[in-house]
């Protein structure tokens, strides 16, 4: 990382660490576990919006009687949830403004503009991790130090206490800042703790301005800032989260940023308890650019389109963009096409438009690639215009970005494309590649035998011949239907040897088991199956829960969300709303919070 604390900060770091332990100890005591998010009068919850803290018992109500499902509608126990680096970045932006926020983003390669791909769900990566480990801690510590340094350099702008703060103003700022940073009112113990940090640092090392600096440093690296609690009013008993906890959970889910004033005001009045109270805030937040950008990015990660940045395709035309003309190359243009597709499709019309939409936004490079004549050609490659797609394309799966991301360097991959559709659209479990030598020998022999076979001949062999059939029967059909698109997504009717391509397939039972004559029919049938909505519901619920529970589409939690989605207008915002008002989101099971 680029940022390093200055020499003065280094000299005082041990003192700040000792003083900061006061905050750490406060976060780990029973008083914070039980009361740290406020009592009912100041934002605690007393009622659940559903069937109770323990959730369901394998059945959920349905229009024609109870519906069988797996597990409970409540999935997680009481817990601490670590903020991702992007969420820490957004917290810095909210507390200090864009000047420091943008510096932090650049120095640590985090934030919404970072080129490092987000994972799905947010904490499911070695860089992030679910806890602040010894590899994660230095980054958070240096960000906190930078916040303290910025405060000292911009003392009046940050504190409104002038260049020479009085003791009263300084202590008032420290308390107010801690409350903003903690995203809730302070307990009496926490007020004493943050002021003790201020007093100890000032007495041992610093002037008033420096005491403010290192108080900010300590607050910004405290667990109350770097984690969210999901304790409710008692960390060990099943029950609903408090209104302040819901405010933070909801905001970080939808915007990847701390709660806005409207959420905090509602939490103060304990009005984030019922679906009727939470739902309007979801609608309000989803109308904001920040929420939409965050969730569009989530879907980009969902479909692993960040792979576009590194995928190797042996085709000269795939990437030849320059700084002056960044979208000249197919790679760069397709990346932007996918971004704009999510931007327009997710918020306009049913969710199945992801697979069936006949609209896309393209530039002149993609227009030539897709064989589309633009009615009014844009002035340059950086301008994208919305068009109607030709008859052989619809939805995300026929876009260059998706197809190239799931190809080998020189040829398309039926298996890779089939696996990603099986997992991302239907949440079926993809089997691991065999490791026993006997099976590997059979696979090697089959490859030699089929070296000159068409993709269909290879497909027919895999779905009928042991040891392949047990697995490939469940996903190869999806990839074969896409074989009319080459490694970078050009439409074709014959393979490189001139042999005709027949994309007709019988779909696996998870996709309805019907016949599809081409990719568009396959996508339409997948979109129509209940498994598609249940799969997206399960995955977005995992996104909302940050670390991701071990849910399946058949889980009661996912089924409850999918049921509400199906009963509504079947749009992406409706699915997000159903998640936010669900028991899986608002309640936790019993368990000692970790």
pLDDT, one tens digit per residue, over 156-198 is 999 999 999 999 999 999 999 999 999 999 999 999 999 999 9
Domain that holds residue 178: 7-35+83-226
Q: Which residue has the tokens 């696979």?
A: 443
From residue 71, alpha-carbon distances to 361, 582, 587 in Å are: 42, 15, 15
**Residue 164: how many other CB atoms lie within 10 Å:** 11
Please tell me the least confidently modeled range out of 18-27, 255-264, 414-423, 431-440: 18-27
Any residues with CB less than 8 A from the CB of 155 and at least 6 apart, and which? Answer: 161, 162, 163, 165, 209, 212
Assess contact for 71 and 557: CB atoms under 8 A: yes
Mean pLDDT over 527-540 rounds to: 95
Structural domain contains residue 540: no
How do 515-516 and 505-506 pair as beta strands? antiparallel
pLDDT band at 466 (very low <50, low <70, confident <90, very high): confident
Structural domain contains residue 513: no
The DSSP symbol for 241 reads P
Closest CA to 367 of 341, 397, 343, 337: 337
pLDDT for the residue 68: 85
Q: Which of 44-48, 129-133, 450-454 has the highest mean pLDDT?
A: 450-454
Structure tokens at 59: 């059945």
Mean pLDDT over 526-540 rounds to: 95
Structural domain contains residue 503: no
- pLDDT exceeds cutoff 50 at 86: yes
pLDDT for the residue 318: 61
pLDDT for the residue 328: 55
Mean pLDDT over 552-578 rounds to: 95
pLDDT for the residue 391: 95
Please tell me the least confidently modeled range out of 1-5, 112-116, 468-472: 1-5
pLDDT for the residue 278: 99
Q: Which of 126-130, 408-412, 473-477 has the highest mean pLDDT?
A: 473-477
Structural domain contains residue 65: no
Residues present in the chain in total = 594
pLDDT for the residue 9: 37
Q: Which of 174-183, 470-479, 539-548, 583-592 has the highest mean pLDDT?
A: 174-183
Q: How far is CA 191 from the centre of its chain?
A: 34
- pLDDT exceeds cutoff 80 at 548: no
Domain count, the chain: 1
Query: Mean pLDDT of all residues in the chain?
Result: 86
Please tell me the least confidently modeled range out of 53-62, 352-361, 366-375: 53-62
Structural domain contains residue 310: no
Rounded-to-5 percentages of helix, strand, coil across the chain: 50, 5, 40
Mean pLDDT over 409-418 rounds to: 89
Axis crossing angle, helix 7-27 with helix 188-204, rounded to the nearest 10: 150
pLDDT for the residue 40: 32
- pLDDT exceeds cutoff 60 at 5: no
pLDDT for the residue 323: 52
Closest CA to 400 of 313, 487, 484: 487
Q: Is 440 left (phi over 0), alpha (psi -120 to 50) or beta?
A: alpha
- pLDDT exceeds cutoff 50 at 481: yes
The dihedral of CA 156, 157, 158, 160: what is its sign? positive
What distance in Å separates the CA atoms of residue 93 and residue 370, rounded to the nearest whole number?
41
Mean pLDDT over 49-72 rounds to: 61
What distance in Å separates the CA atoms of residue 443 and residue 588, rounded to the nearest whole number?
47
Structural domain contains residue 197: yes
- pLDDT exceeds cutoff 50 at 30: no
pLDDT for the residue 33: 39
Assess contact for 143 and 104: CB atoms under 8 A: yes
Structural domain contains residue 203: yes
Assess contact for 541 and 579: CB atoms under 8 A: yes
Any residues with CB less than 8 A from the CB of 280 and at least 6 apart, and which? Answer: none
For the chain, percent of residues with pLDDT exceeding 90: 64
Report pTM.
Answer: 0.88
Mean pLDDT over 27-39 rounds to: 36
3-state secondary structure of 260: coil
Structure tokens at 251: 């905001």
pLDDT band at 253 (very low <50, low <70, confident <90, very high): very high
In terms of C-beta density within 10 A (0-12 exposed, 13-18 middle, 19 or more buried), how is residue 116 classed?
middle
pLDDT band at 411 (very low <50, low <70, confident <90, very high): confident
- pLDDT exceeds cutoff 90 at 277: yes
pLDDT for the residue 48: 40
pLDDT higher at 569 or 128? 569
pLDDT for the residue 270: 98
Structural domain contains residue 63: no
Any residues with CB less than 8 A from the CB of 397 and at least 6 apart, and which? Answer: 355, 403, 421, 482, 519, 523
Mean pLDDT over 10-20 rounds to: 44
Mean pLDDT over 312-334 rounds to: 64
């Amino acid at each position: 990382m680029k940022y390093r604390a200055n020499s003065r900060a280094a000299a005082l770091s041990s003192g700040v660490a000792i003083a900061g332990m006061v905050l750490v100890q406060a976060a780990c005591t029973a008083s914070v576990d039980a009361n740290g998010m406020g009592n009912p009068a100041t934002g605690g919850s007393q009622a659940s919006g559903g069937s109770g803290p323990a959730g369901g018992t394998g059945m959920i109500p349905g229009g024609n009687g109870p519906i069988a499902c797996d597990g409970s509608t409540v999935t997680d126990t009481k817990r601490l949830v670590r903020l991702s680096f992007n969420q820490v970045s957004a917290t810095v932006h909210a507390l200090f403004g864009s000047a420091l926020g943008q510096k932090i983003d650049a120095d640590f390669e985090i934030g919404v503009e970072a080129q490092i791909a987000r994972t799905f769900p947010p904490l499911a990566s070695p860089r992030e991790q679910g806890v602040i480990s010894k590899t994660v801690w230095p980054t958070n510590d240096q960000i906190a130090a930078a916040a303290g340094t910025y405060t000292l350099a911009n003392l009046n702008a940050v504190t409104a206490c002038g260049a020479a703060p009085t003791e009263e103003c300084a202590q008032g700022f420290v308390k107010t800042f801690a409350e903003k940073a903690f995203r809730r009112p302070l307990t009496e113990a926490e007020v004493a703790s943050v002021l003790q940090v201020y007093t100890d640092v000032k007495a041992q090392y610093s002037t008033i301005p420096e005491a403010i600096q290192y108080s900010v440093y300590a607050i910004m690296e405290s667990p109350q800032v770097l984690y969210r609690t999901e304790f409710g009013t008692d960390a060990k008993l099943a029950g609903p989260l408090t209104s302040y906890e819901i405010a933070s959970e909801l905001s970080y889910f939808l915007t990847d940023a701390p709660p806005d004033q409207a959420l905090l005001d509602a939490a103060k009045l304990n009005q984030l308890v019922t679906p009727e109270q939470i739902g309007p805030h979801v609608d309000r937040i989803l109308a904001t650019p920040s929420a939409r950008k965050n969730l569009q990015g989530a879907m980009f990660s969902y479909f692993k389109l960040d792979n576009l940045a590194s995928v190797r395709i042996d085709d000269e035309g795939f990437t030849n963009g320059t700084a002056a003309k960044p979208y000249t190359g197919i790679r760069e243009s397709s990346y932007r096409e996918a971004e704009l597709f999510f931007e327009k499709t997710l918020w306009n019309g049913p969710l199945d438009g992801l697979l069936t939409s006949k609209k896309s936004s393209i530039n002149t490079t993609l227009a030539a690639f897709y064989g589309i004549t633009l009615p009014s050609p844009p002035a340059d490659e950086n301008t994208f215009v919305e068009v109607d797609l030709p008859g052989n394309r619809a939805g995300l799966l026929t876009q260059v970005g998706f197809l190239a991301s799931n190809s080998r360097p020189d040829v398309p991959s039926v298996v890779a494309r089939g696996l990603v559709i099986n997992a991302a659209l239907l949440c079926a479990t993809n089997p691991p590649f065999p490791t026993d030598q006997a099976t590997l020998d059979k696979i090697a022999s089959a490859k030699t035998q089929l070296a000159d076979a068409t993709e269909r001949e290879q497909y027919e062999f895999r779905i009928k011949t042991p040891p392949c059939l047990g697995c490939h029967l469940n996903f190869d059909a999806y990839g074969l239907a896409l074989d009319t698109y080459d490694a970078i997504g050009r439409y074709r009717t014959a393979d490189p040897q001139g042999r005709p391509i027949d994309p007709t397939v019988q779909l696996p039972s998870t996709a309805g088991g019907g016949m599809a004559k081409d990719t568009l029919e396959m996508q339409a049938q997948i979109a129509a199956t209940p498994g598609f909505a249940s799969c997206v519901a399960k995955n977005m619920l995992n996104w909302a829960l940050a670390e991701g529970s071990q849910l399946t589409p058949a889980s009661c939690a996912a089924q409850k969300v999918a049921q509400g989605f199906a009963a509504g207008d079947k749009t992406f915002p409706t699915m997000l709303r159903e998640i936010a008002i669900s028991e899986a989101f608002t309640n936790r099971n019993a368990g000692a919070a970790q």
